[in-house]
Amino acid sequence: MSDQIAMSIDPNEDPYGSLGIIRNTDGSITRPQTTRPFSITIPDKDSFVFMKDLVINLAKDMWARIVIPREVLNSETKLPLVVYFHGGGFVMAATVDTPILQKFYATLAVEIPAIIVSVDYRYAPENRLPAAYDDCVESLYWIKNTPNELLKKHADLSKCFLLGTSAGGNIAYHVGLRVAKVSECLKPLEIKGLILHHAFFGGNERTKSELRLARNKILPLNVCDIMWELGLPIGSDRDHLYSNPMVEIRSNENLFDQLKIQGWKILVIDCYGDPLIDRQIEVSKMLKEKGVQVVDSFSEGGFHGCEFFDDMKLKDMALVVKEFVRA
């Protein structure tokens, strides 16, 4: 199905163009100017969800989109909170109002059901890692201290999960490791688990799935390499711990101590049509060996981010996440 998706630019032929950037002769990049209007978005009345946008940090152009099932708006019901970090390889100028994300939010919010808070973060190379991690940690403190009545009334802050897709999955993993060490400072926000959806991990040594799908039209290897080159700290290679979690997992025996003490669990979701599948399997296996509670869901076929384009796969994913959150 990935070949059937209309791609305006073939990433194998023009990888920079597919990322929405221009590589200049001096090595710098130019990004088309875009304006990001602040708005409060309320879908049509027949929609199953209510959405509202709020500023997190105006200086960093960070904001959040809150997604709430409409059926709970006039009740005292509190639902689990899912904080969502979108993808984009740390480089693409994706935001919480990117069109393909809207059905994703709504489906998860209704099917789990849960309150979804999707948050923005700065992108590279203007702001290289760990800037995105810093921003997403900041968003958790913003949620903790929020004066927003919708969240205070309908979100159960004691049942929070961090969910991320692609680069967002990488963020969920690293932010989770960070905040597990300072969990007391986040209360009443209490994280119960991480959901890594097609997480964007890498490494210097190619995996079999990366080589098998090296020229796929969704996430080819040349695009992965460019995103890591632009996203990682200057001078780093793909075995940096931000890219390759196995490096730190193997070298730090106590890495997951706080996750285990607090009873966190991790859900790893991917499909065999994703070039990153071998990395997800490796990480999942190692987490289990380290004593972390892990649930994995690896489906046949598909492609990187397929749930944004295939309603059935999105529905299946929502059911997997529902079971994980509700367990």
Who contacts 272 (Cβ-Cβ below 8 Å, separation ≥6)?
Answer: 209, 298, 299, 300, 301, 302
pTM for the model:
0.95
Q: List pLDDT tens digits, range 34-46.
A: 544 444 444 454 4
Give the sign of the dihedral formed by CA 33, CA 237, CA 135, CA 101.
positive
Give the mean model confidence (pLDDT) for residues 231-257: 97
Q: Which two tokens stand for residue 304?
A: 């990187």
Task: Find the DSSP H helices in the chain.
Answer: 15-18, 99-111, 131-144, 149-154, 167-180, 183-186, 208-212, 221-231, 245-251, 257-261, 277-289, 311-326
Give the mean model confidence (pLDDT) for residues 51-66: 94
Give the mean model confidence (pLDDT) for residues 92-96: 91
Q: Are 264 and 324 contacting, i.e. CB atoms less than 8 angstroms apart?
A: no
Q: Give the Cα separation of 198 and 298 in Å (integer).
A: 10
Q: List pLDDT tens digits, range 182-235.
A: 999 999 999 999 999 999 999 999 999 999 999 999 999 999 999 999 999 999
Active site residue 274: yes
- Three-state SS for 40? coil
Phi and psi angles of residue 135, each rounded to the nearest 5 degrees, phi first: -65, -40
Catalytic residue among 120, 270, 274, 278: 274
Average pLDDT, the chain: 93
Phi and psi angles of residue 237, each rounded to the nearest 5 degrees, phi first: -110, -175
Task: From 301, 311, 247, select the one nearest 277 (Cα to Cα).
Answer: 301
Task: Indicate if the pLDDT at residue 287 is higher than 90.
Answer: yes
Active site residue 316: no
Q: Are 121 and 85 contacting, i.e. CB atoms less than 8 angstroms apart?
A: yes
Q: Which two tokens stand for residue 314?
A: 């999105």
The pLDDT value recorded for residue 34 is 55
**Greater pLDDT, 98 or 134:** 134
Catalytic residue among 118, 166, 243, 297: 166
Q: Give the Cα separation of 169 and 138 in Å (integer).
A: 17
Q: Give the Cα separation of 121 and 99 in Å (integer).
A: 17
The pLDDT value recorded for residue 204 is 98
Task: Indicate if the pLDDT at residue 125 is higher than 90.
Answer: yes
Task: Indicate if the pLDDT at residue 133 is higher than 50.
Answer: yes
**What share of the chain in percent tops pLDDT 90?**
86
Confidence of residue 47 (pLDDT cuts 50, 70, 90): confident
**Greater pLDDT, 18 or 232:** 232
The pLDDT value recorded for residue 33 is 64
Residues in the chain, overall count: 327
Active site residue 304: yes
DSSP bridge pairs for 29? 23
